[in-house]
Structure 1
Amino acid sequence: MRSPKDFFQPLAVGAPAPLREIPVRPSRMIHFFDPSNEKMAAKVPGLVGKLDVLLGNLEDGVQSDRKEAARDGLVKIAQNTEFGQTQLWTRINSLDSPWGLDDLLTLIPAIGDKLDVVMVPKVEGPQDIHYVDRLLAQLEAKAGLTRPILIHAILETATGVANVEEIAGASPRMQGLSLGPADLAASRRMKTTRVGGGHPGYLVRTDPVGDDLHAGRTTSQQDLWHYTLARMVDACVANGILPYYGPFGDIRDVVACEDQFRNAFLLGCVGTWTLHPVQIDIARKVFSPAPEEVRWARRVLAAMGDGTGAVMLDGKMQDDATVKQCRVVVNLAELLAARDPELAQAYAAEKE
């Protein structure tokens, strides 16, 4: 067993020192693009500054005969683009694939100074993180990098969910976790072919109102992912890393997409994946506190003074616990306002 005092020592001679705290940067939308698709690649420079995270995808969604082209395309894009405040992430191929190792061996020496986060799919346990952790340290040392590249894991298997707490705490590099509903559904043998969202067959029904068991009974569709998402959020918070919703596959259904994103936001997620441009503004809207919520949170903080005791505002009791809730909203608003001029203006107007 590794000693706790050694946890923050570099895993390779010459590698940068691990971070003791994960930096919290706006990451409301993690926007996926295929670096092997020339039309998509050409749009990347125009997206810089408009998105919180751009992710060069090398895994699912990239055909096997295009894997090397995607990898090479990402190198070219990164070398020729200044990303400014927009983070650059990549999703490598799974560790049991023929491409995952070469992804890291190619990307870190070539563009390690540009990469913020490596997203690792189908993580099953802390052993997967330990492998990538050591390999990244060796490659960072060889490339002479001065800051560590962080790791983001996707929960896509039942085993991964069972080990989520150990995964979240496996390395100082751990930046966050995302829910991967499609692969997770297959792993669990769930009977759904949807990518995220609810299911009309997963419902609750009101009690019968008479002898006819069908008459007058209403139903409500339930969320297949509530348990997993809530458990993932708890594991992330307990280990000082960030939770994210994953993909919502029905691009056309922007209404249900917004609902799913909002559920994740309310549960504690800081962002989500966006697979199509139409989802970008939805993520920006949902994962930014509404101006009226920010105004109310500021009112509570102002009324509570030092944050102890209790006061009544508009007939609602506010105490030490609600102060903590309001600080979450105000702190997020201030973080986003520093990045987003439109939000800064909206939040400033609520101060008046």
Structure 2
Amino acid sequence: MIAARPRRSALYMPAANARAIEKARDLTCDVVILDLEDAVAPDAKEIARQQAVEAVKAGGFGRREVVIRVNGLDTPWGAEDLAAAAAACPDAILAPKVSSAADVAAYDAGLSGETRLWVMIETCASLFALESIAACGGTSRLDALVIGTNDLAKEMRCRLTVDRAPLVGPLSLSVAAARAHGLAILDGVHNGIADEAGLVRQCEQGAEFGFDGKTLIHPGQIEAANAAFSPAPGEVHWARIIVAAFDSPENAAKGVLRIEGRMVERLHLVEAQRLIAVADAIAAA
């Protein structure tokens, strides 16, 4: 089963901006992604790397997962980024533009300790390798997929609208690949910082697809993501009813129950247990 750690909101913070990193320690996001890649100009790459490493070592992020997004291994900064980030021991390293299982293996080889590997699905090639990429979760540190909608739309030459109609297939298939191999998966960013209504619609769409949460580019987007990807009170209540029913001694050997007029199978029990765990983790934060 996927771990119940909430990942409703994952905020990219440019690691070249020391004030932004400091601010991240007090935000209500579930994940802080210290970015060395897209958000950092070439002449600021080294200072960004240094500040990200120092921030991870200093700690102070509380319950938040701390992830470093490195530059690709095919860039002038990638190898040094991976070595420095791995030595700092964040919760995870986020690898960009992963297009094959071989790419996953290359980043995985550079990690040690408890640090996990997250990879970006943001190339056309990655869409045709989703199965082999996600399957690496069973043989490597791979823990999560992260959709890069901007890069994907650029490669596809499609229009990146709020409803993301051209990307419905890739988004759905990516979620299915993640679930098939027990991985977490985060939705891509919404570019309209001032478009609150569009952000809410995209967060709701992502939750409907089955994403665990959404990557964000501004602190003002956190509240909408946390709301959309938090279990609804009614869902949690029903989940507790399901768990209690199956926990009853007379139902110990049963695979299917009738609960309040609904047919409930043990597969629903597993999802109910996961949902309760997520809700409890959110409540305890």
Q: TM-score, normalised by structure 2?
A: 0.88
Alignment-derived partner of residue 79 in structure 2: 101
Of Structure 1 and Structure 2, which has the larger fraction of its residues in helix?
Answer: 2
Alignment partners' CA distance in 1, 2:272 and 2:215: 21
What is the CA–CA distance in structure 1 between the aligned matches of 2:23 and 2:259, rounded to whole Å? 51
Number of aligned residue pairs: give it: 278
User: Cα 1:329–1:303, aligned 2, differ >3 Å: closer, same or farther?
Assistant: closer
Q: Secondary structure at the match of 2:166?
A: coil
Aligned equivalents of 1:40, 1:102: Cα separation in 2: 23
- Contact 2:236–2:275, Cα closer than 8 Å, also in 1: no
Tell me how far apart the structure 1 counterparts of residues 108 and 96 of structure 2 sit (CA, whole Å): 14
Give the one of 39, 47, 50 matched to 1:61. 39
In 2 relative to 1, CA 341–135 (structure 1 residues): closer, same or farther, beyond 3 Å?
closer
Pairwise mapping of residues 173-192 of structure 1 onto structure 2 (< 5 A)? 173-190=141-158, 192=159
Secondary structure at the counterpart of residue 56 of structure 1:
strand
Matched residue, 1:335: 278
Give the conservation status (yes or no) of the 8 Å contact 2:101–2:133: yes
SS of aligned partner of 2:25? helix
1:131 equivalent in alignment to 2:106: yes
2:129 to 138, 163, 169: 163
Distance across 1 between alignment mates of 2:62 and 2:23: 16
Q: After TM superposition, what 4+ stretches of structure 1 lie above 6 angstroms from structure 2? A: none
Greater Cα radius of gyration, structure 1 or 2: 1
SS at match of 2:32: strand
- Give the counterpart letter for 2:194 in structure 1: R
Aligned to 1:217: none
Q: Is the 8 A contact 1:158 1:187 kept in 2?
A: yes
The residue aligned with 1:281 is 223
Question: What is the deviation of 1:23?
Answer: 4.4
1:70-113 CA-partner distances (Å, limit 9, x unpaired): 1111122222223332211011112221111110122222x12x
2:207 maps to a residue whose letter is: F
1:312-331 counterparts in 2 under 5 A? 313=260, 317-320=262-265, 324-325=267-268, 327-331=270-274
| Greater displacement, 157-166 / 258-267 | 258-267
CA-to-aligned-CA distance 1:131-169 (integer Å, 9 cap, x gap): 111222xxx3xxxxxx33211111111101100110112
Match of 1:42 in 2: 22
The 5 Å alignment of 1:1-352 reads 23-47=3-27, 50-109=28-87, 111-112=88-89, 115-136=90-111, 140=112, 147-170=113-136, 171-190=139-158, 192=159, 194=160, 197-198=162-163, 223-302=165-244, 306=251, 308-311=255-258, 313=260, 317-320=262-265, 324-325=267-268, 327-341=270-284
Q: Secondary structure at the match of 1:224?
A: helix
Give the direction of change, closer, same or farther, for the CA distance of 1:99–1:233 in structure 2 (3 Å limit): same
CA-atom RMSD in angstroms: 2.3
Shift of the alpha carbon at 1:51? 2.9
> Is residue 156–residue 179 contact of structure 1 (8 Å, CA) maintained in 2?
yes
Could you tell me how far 1:289 is from its partner in structure 2? 0.8
Cα deviation for residue 303 of structure 1 reads 5.3
Change (3 A) 1:93 1:300: same
Offset at residue 298 of structure 1 (A): 3.0
> How far apart, in 2, do the equivalents of 1:279 and 1:235 lie?
27
TM-score normalised by the chain length of structure 1? 0.72
Cα 1:335/1:312, change in 2 over 3 Å: closer
- CA deviation vs aligned residue, 1:25-71 (integer Å, no higher than 9, x gap): 22111111112113312313323xx3321110011121111111111
Query: Quick one: structure 1 residues 339 and 302, their matched pair in 2 at CA, closer, same or farther if it must change by over 3 Å?
Result: closer
- Deviation (angstroms), 1:126: 0.6
Cα–Cα, structure 1 residues 83 and 284, in superposed 2: closer, same or farther, change >3 Å?
same
Structure 2: distance between partners of 1:303 and 1:165: 36
CA shift for structure 1 position 329: 4.3
How many percent identity over aligned positions? Answer: 28
